[in-house]
Amino acid sequence: MRHFAEYASQSLGIRLPEAHTRFMDTYGNRLPEDPVKTKSWITGLGSQEFVIGTTLAFRSSFPDLDRGRVVIGYASIKTIIVNRAYEDIDEYL
């Protein structure tokens, strides 16, 4: 696969920090495409495809999302209160 910096730049239109792109070039192929359902050696972090795909999905759902924000993984389920009712939501990094 091409270098992650190039992939992210072409797909997302932003330049990611070098530390993150270097990490993804080295270890990204060992991370799962679905860190929600698949455990990995680094809890929650997703593969290159997860980062790009999930970020693009968030951008399409939240048009005002800052373009510099990138989804890199899945933290857990978080419980919030909406209209006095408990709701479980997925929390992404």
Measure the CA angle with vertex 11, ends 34 and 33; round to 5°.
Answer: 10
Q: How many domains does the chain have?
A: 1
Q: Are 15 and 5 in contact (CB under 8 A)?
A: yes
Rounded to two decimals, the pTM is: 0.85
The pLDDT, as a whole number, for residue 40 is: 85
* Structural domain for 58, as ranges: 4-92
pLDDT over threshold 60, residue 1: no
pLDDT over threshold 90, residue 39: no
Confidence class for position 2, pLDDT limits 50, 70, 90: low
